[in-house]
Amino acid sequence: MHHDGPRRALRLGAQDHAAQPSGLRLIPLGGLGEIGLNMMVLEYGDDLIVIDSGLMFPEDYMLGIDMVIPDITYLRQNKDKVRAIILTHGHEDHIGALPFILKELKVPVYGTPFTLALVEEKLQEHEGVGKVNFKRVRPRDQVEIGPFQVEFIRTCHSIVDGVGLGITTPVGILIHTGDFKIDQAPAGGELTDLRKFAEYGERGVLALLSDSTNAEREGHTLSEREIGQKLEEIIRVSPGRVIVALFASNIQRIQQVMDTAVKFGRKVALVGRNIVNNTRIARELGYMRLPPGGLIDIKKIDHYPPDKLLLFTTGSQGEPLSALSLIATDSHKDVQIQKGDTVVLSSRFIPGNEKAITHMINHLCRRGANVIYEKISAIHVSGHGYREELRMMLNLIRPEYFIPIHGEYRHLVQHIQLAREVGIAEDKLLLAEDGDVILLNNGRGKIVDRVEVGKVFVDGKGVGDVEDVVLRDRKQLSEDGMVIPVMVINEKTGEVVSGPDIISRGVIFEEKMGEVLEQAKAVIKDALEGVPLDSKTDDLAVEEQVRRALKRFFRKEMDRRPVIIPVIIEM
């Protein structure tokens, strides 16, 4: 790959600097292999910084799990080295794990004003975090943290105040793009700072870490201005109320739609705690302006004709207790669907949520609403750049090494392919996953090691106490039910004094229960007869024999595998 003069000079300078044999270690603890859990560690000698601290929403098989956070075993082992957590923006997949991590790591947290305001709001719901040292920064600010000089670079994304990072280290310069797209006409006027990214490209970049979310999608993202025009058209022609469902963090789109509503003489009301809180924070920080007299209390919407109202709500993913889901099932205390309402789902169908969303759309249609969503109209655009934008970033930076981040494995592979296309040499493409240790030293980069990583399940107040084996039991319980055989045994002779009685849940219909359970009791009695005399007083031996016999019985008779929990009472 061709490098110009200034780049060559910088590379040599970086090599001289990197006398330390240890070099710079990059360790992704989450976000490289899944969407969510974003967390990247940069370690040089005795100093370590963490970029982002995100959660992941549970997948279908994670029964009963509220959220998933990264395993920070590596950070615990290196607690004394951690100097700071740096946040690129305020989405949950970048800040959601902070309340749990800040209970263990008392370090400064750097972020832009809106990002830190969202974090502060989130921390109020968690006990035991204590006072956090927040360091507010703005785009183009530079901070020194140990051997790292970090510059914050404005990026355009689906939330205000997003940044990428230019990180000068003793071994060379790193660029971490954060989440970005290149929109020439964004709704809030926050352009990705291409001049600053290009400036780093001129200086010479050792490694580029770039957002891979949409590496499969060819072309460019639509401009927010085009989305705004489509939404304006819908608002103009809708005969009744317009209800716009979106992510509460999408302040630019809320502002754009609010301005359009007022333009057509509609009053605006906010439905749902998150959207109320986020708009309040955005107004306080000056990222949003309210049209005079345009915002009304949700309790007063009945005072206005339907064609003079626009409502914002959360719940575009069909979340069971979200405002829109409650509205769809006629369970919301303030808003009921009226015939003639237009409901606009201005967000994408996140994979895994399709069933819940279509179920909600059916409910809304059944109640007389006209529902408009991404599949039938251009009313949403992703916050992540498509292939053409990713190519542009690669060409602006022209890094020595390329490391795709933020995506499932297939996204990372596609992004590597793009880097090949723009001329980055094969041995300079580092396809890393969570836990891989990337060593950058003396102008060279390679994957040299692995550290312990994984997913920690948060279930209610329990963090990490639900293991895979618990999920397996939950799955089994949900599919095949539970059987509890109870019997009283003479502790001296091992003879059955009472029972066996069988309690079952989720195994069989009530009418057939008697017949099957009688057979099961006979199976238990046969099994007990097969227990050697010297083992009959050993509870564990008896329990195991009963469990195995019942397991065989239910598998053979019903092709089911209920969870079997024998209860032995000694007398």
CB 267 within 8 A of CB 294: yes
CATH of 479-570, one of 3.10.20.580, 3.30.360.10, 3.30.70.660, 3.40.50.300: 3.10.20.580
Q: Which residues pair with 407 in a beta bridge?
A: 32, 34
- Residue 129: name the closest of 156, 101, 150 by CA: 101
CA distance 124 to 127: 8
**Helix residue spans in 492-568 (DSSP H):** 510-529, 539-558
Tell me the two tokens of residue 128. Answer: 């035991």
Residue whose structure tokens are 């901070």: 143
Residue whose structure tokens are 């041995």: 427
Give the per-residue pLDDT at 10: 34
- List the Cα angle 216/189/111 in 5-degree steps: 80
State the virtual CA torsion across 99, 101, 104, 110 in degrees, nearest 10.
Answer: -90
The sign one gets for the Cα dihedral 388, 94, 470, 562 is negative
Give the per-residue pLDDT at 15: 39
Strands 109-111 and 82-86, how do they pair?
A: parallel
Going from the C-alpha of 306 to that of each of 257, 258, 303, 338, the distances in angstroms are 17, 16, 9, 9
Strands of 286-390, DSSP E = 309-313, 342-345, 370-372
Give the per-residue pLDDT at 298: 94
List CB contacts of 212: < 8 A, sequence separation 6 or more.
390, 404, 405, 406, 407, 411, 412, 414, 415
CA distance 231 to 225: 10
Q: Where in the chain is the domain with CATH 3.10.20.580?
A: 479-570
Residue whose structure tokens are 């059955």: 496
Going from the C-alpha of 93 to that of each of 37, 41, 42, 69, 406, the distances in angstroms are 6, 16, 19, 9, 10
Strands 455-459 and 444-450, how do they pair?
A: unpaired
Q: Is 161 left (phi over 0), alpha (psi -120 to 50) or beta?
A: left
Q: Where in the chain is the domain with CATH 3.40.50.10710?
A: 224-372
Tell me the two tokens of residue 126. Answer: 């968690």
Give the containing element (helix H, strand E) for 488.
strand 482-489
State the virtual CA torsion across 451, 452, 453, 459 in degrees, nearest 10.
Answer: -160
Using a cut of 0.85, tell me whether the model's pTM lies above it: no
pLDDT tens track, the chain, 571 positions: 434 433 333 333 333 433 444 799 999 999 999 999 999 999 999 999 999 999 988 766 665 667 889 999 999 999 999 999 999 999 999 999 999 999 999 999 999 999 999 999 999 988 888 899 999 999 999 999 999 999 999 999 999 999 999 999 999 999 999 999 999 988 877 999 999 999 999 999 999 999 999 999 999 999 999 999 999 999 999 999 999 999 999 999 999 999 999 999 999 999 999 999 999 999 999 999 988 888 999 999 999 999 999 999 999 998 888 999 999 999 999 999 999 999 999 998 877 788 899 999 999 999 999 999 988 788 899 999 999 999 999 999 999 999 999 999 999 999 999 999 999 999 999 999 999 999 999 999 999 999 999 888 776 555 655 566 666 666 667 777 888 888 887 777 767 777 788 877 777 655 566 677 778 888 888 777 777 666 666 667 778 888 888 888 888 877 778 888 888 887 7
Homologous superfamily assigned to 5-219+382-462 = Ribonuclease Z/Hydroxyacylglutathione hydrolase-like (3.60.15.10)
- Residue 380: name the closest of 157, 182, 222 by CA: 222
Q: What is the CATH number of domain 224-372?
A: 3.40.50.10710
Give the per-residue pLDDT at 14: 38
Give the per-residue pLDDT at 512: 61
Give the per-residue pLDDT at 289: 92
Residue whose structure tokens are 């039938």: 376
Give the DSSP letter string of 57-69. Answer: PPPTTSTT--EEE
Q: Where in the chain is the domain with CATH 3.60.15.10?
A: 5-219+382-462
CB 562 within 8 A of CB 504: yes
Tell me the two tokens of residue 350. Answer: 């996140």
How long is the chain?
Answer: 571
* Helices first, then strands: H and E counts in the chain: 16, 28
CB 210 within 8 A of CB 399: no
The sign one gets for the Cα dihedral 160, 57, 462, 73 is negative
